[in-house]
Every structure is written in structure tokens, then in C-alpha cells.
Structure 1
């Protein structure tokens, strides 16, 4: 997933990094690499600290590209601090880069993950990567908690689990329909 994340950072990094006079040219690649790793490690940290409700809201809502989203704010602060520490960028330049990159990259990442026609990012891969390969139980617990509100309890047993996934596969729309309901498509 880090590779796909790096591609998104490169896609959006032109204005924020390459064409930014506050970033010396010799640091362009390093700044973009730091942005990718900061986003990835920041998402992992949020998951490990019990922020599954924040992540579930990020995946479910339409606020991934909003600077006011708590996940976006946390990742922006982390990246800004890292850029200042590792590359000597002043705080306003670092904050500007983070404030420009993080919402665009997260918005695109979540948009791609939610798009059933885009196979470059899969929700399951994203959740597995964020959870450090430990599965997605915490995030799935949060989804299960709110799943009934989103019509995810396919078999009407009062919880969202693998049975619902199987029921969704057997219904029209399949698993894409289930994920579409979960992620607002």
C-alpha cells in the first residue's frame, strides 16, 4: 500500500513540493517520501491507539479531503513536524505542504478505495495495511457497531460479520454492493 500511497503523493506533490520555493530541489524526493511514510504510519498509529471509529468515519464519510477532519488534522500536524525536523523547513512552509498534500492524498485514497470500478485500491487491503497485518477486527467492530444504520446487516441477525458478506455475495450486487453501501456508493 505504501507504493500506491507514494504514487498519490507524487501525483499531488507537484504544486505542494516541486514548485514550492521553500523546498530546496535536492529535498523534493525526500519530502514526498516523508509525506507518504507519515500518512501511512499516521494511519497505523490511529488504528493502534483505538481510533477505529475515526477511521471508520473517514472511510464512510465524504470528509477525507476536508482539512477539518480529525484524521486529516492529525496527519497534517505529524507531517508538518517531520518536515521541519528532517529537512529544516520553517513551520509555515511545512504546514503549507502538509495542508495541501494530506487532504488531497487522503481524499483520493479513500475515493479510490470506495470506487468499485477502481481495482488499484481495495478496502480490505487498505484496512489490513493500516492494522499492520493483524486483520481488521477493530475497524470491523466499529463498522459492525454502526453497520445497521448503513444497511449492512444483510441477514438481519443484528450484527455485521462474514455472514453478511456471504449474504451480499448471494444477493444482486454482490460484495461490491455491500461495500458500496458501507462507503456511500
Structure 2
């Protein structure tokens, strides 16, 4: 996943980083690396903190701009990291982060939702963010018995998990547990 994010950072980093006179040339590569690392670690931290509803909304095609809570949190984190690690002014750091985060996330999500893009898919994104804890395997194996097939395609997979995360007030895990224990 980091490789895919890094490629997108390089793709969009020309104007925001390389051609930005406020970012010293000797820091260009390091700033791009920090951008990719901050995006991946920030998303992983959000999952670890239980902030899956916002991420699920983003993966389902939510708005990828400064109004999105995931974009805002990642932008704030990257901006702080760039200022702290590279001595960039707050305006420069905020400008780089505010330009890069929406572009990279938007492209990543667009490619993940495009069946014609090999190497990009939503389940890979979720697994790389910590979704490979065994929960999805159990849900896939037994979920159909408990009515968890959200899209009625005969299997319980990441598309169902994403639909459940974004569509149920209690969230996917509470939905599973509620179905399992009859609540």
C-alpha cells in the first residue's frame, strides 16, 4: 500500500513540493516520503482509534476535500510533521498538505473503486490499514447466515463491510454482534 501511495505522491508532488520555492530542493524527496508515510500511518491510526465510519464513507466515494474529517485530520497531521521535521513555515506546510492529501486520497479511492485498475482495490486498502485481524474472514465465512450480505450478492466481503460501516448507526461490528446474539 505504501508503494501505491508513494507513486501517487510522486505523481502529484511536482507543483506542491518540487516546484514550490518555499520547499528547499534538498528536502523534496524527504517531504514526498513524509507525505506518503503520514497518509498511511494516519489512516492506520484512525482505524486503531475506531474511526472507521469516516474512513468507510471516504472509501465509498465520499467528498475528498478539506470538509471531510479524514482529509482534515491527515492534512493537520502532515502539516505539523512537515513543519517539525523540515522547518517549513506553517503556511508552506499547510499549503503542501492541503494540496497533496485530497489529490492523493481522491486518486487512491478512484483507482480502488475502478475495476479496470489492477493493483488497487478497497479490500487491499482496508487490509493494509489493519483489517486483516481475522474478523473479515469470520464474517465472510458465517456472515451470510446472519443477514450481513448487504448488497445481496451471495457473499459477505469488504463491500458488505463498507456498506454496513457507512449505513448502520451502530457500525459493522455491533451489527454483527447484534445479529449473532439476537439483539
Q: Tell me if TM exceeds 0.5.
A: yes
1:49-83 CA distance string (max 9 Å, x none): 000111111111331x2111000000000000000
**Unaligned 5+ residue runs, structure 2?**
164-183
Return closer, same or farther for 1:135/1:66 CA change in 2, 3 Å cut-off.
Answer: farther
Match of 1:56 in 2: 56
Normalization by structure 1: what TM-score?
0.75
Cα pair 1:128 1:136 within 8 Å, conserved: no
Counterparts in 2 of 1:79-94, with a 5 A limit?
A: 79-94=78-93
Q: SS state of the match for residue 93, structure 1?
A: helix
Residue 116 of structure 2 is aligned to residue 117 of structure 1: yes
Q: SS state of the match for residue 126, structure 2?
A: helix
After TM superposition, where is structure 1 displaced by more than 6 Å over at least 4 residues in a row?
Answer: none
Cα pair 1:84 1:94 within 8 Å, conserved: yes
Match of 2:175 in 1: none
Q: SS state of the match for residue 57, structure 2?
A: helix
1:3-22 CA distance string (max 9 Å, x none): 11000000000000000001
RMSD (CA atoms): 2.7
Q: How many residues align?
A: 156
How far did residue 131 of structure 1 move? 1.1
Cα pair 1:9 1:105 within 8 Å, conserved: yes
How far did residue 159 of structure 1 move? 1.9
Match of 1:3 in 2: 3
What is the alpha-carbon distance in structure 2 between the residues aligned to residue 133 and residue 29 of structure 1? 31
**Unaligned 5+ residue runs, structure 1?**
141-152, 170-174
Counterparts in 2 of 1:136-147, with a 5 A limit?
A: 137=136
